[in-house]
Each structure stands twice: as structure tokens, then as C-alpha cells.
Amino acid sequence: MKKFISLAMTAAILMSGNLVASAATDFREMKTEDLATLRGKLQNESIETREAFTKEWQQRVGNMGAEEKQKYGIHDTGTGNQPAGQDPSCQ
């Protein structure tokens, strides 16, 4: 019975989408490529998760060279996280 309850709870967490939020709150362990794929996809996550992502992403962008920024479509506008084509000063 305990195993069934555990499986049911796991299924409920997976269906609610909260597993991503709880498992990915510490973004420091993620590869930069993986972080880049999450850009713009966390709007349904908790504020804490979004803030943790933003903090880690901005720190990484601050340490990137021009070539790596170009790889991720980032224009150096001082914010550190503008995707290409969204900042009018980059066009």
C-alpha cells in the first residue's frame, strides 16, 4: 500500500509540473547549454525558481566572452540577457 501511495504522489507531482521547479532550483549544476534552452520557458514556475534561474544566467553571461555570447544570441547591452532581435539597439 505504501508503494502505491508513493507512486500516486510521484505521478501527481509529475502531472502538476512542479517536479521541474523543485529539481531545478539549483541551476549552478546545469550546463550553460541547458540553461540557455530554459530561457523563456519558466513563466509557469515559482518566483523563487525564476529568480534563481535569472541570477545564475546573468552570472554566466557576465563571464562569457563575445564569441560565447554570440553563440547564445546575446547582444551586450548591459543587461546580460537580451536575446538577439529583441533589443532595438542591436538591429
| Cα–Cα dist 91/66, whole Å | 17
Q: Do 80 and 74 contact (CB within 8 A), yes or no?
A: yes
Please state the separation of Cα 54 from the chain's center in Å.
7
74, exposed or middle or buried, with CB in 10 Å at 0-12, 13-18, 19+? buried
Structural contact between residues 26 and 52, judged by C-beta atoms closer than 8 angstroms: yes
Domain chopping of the chain, boundaries = 2-73
Residue 54 confidence (pLDDT): 95
pLDDT of residue 62: 95
Q: Taking the model in full, what pTM does it have?
A: 0.58
pLDDT in tens, 55-67: 999 999 999 999 9
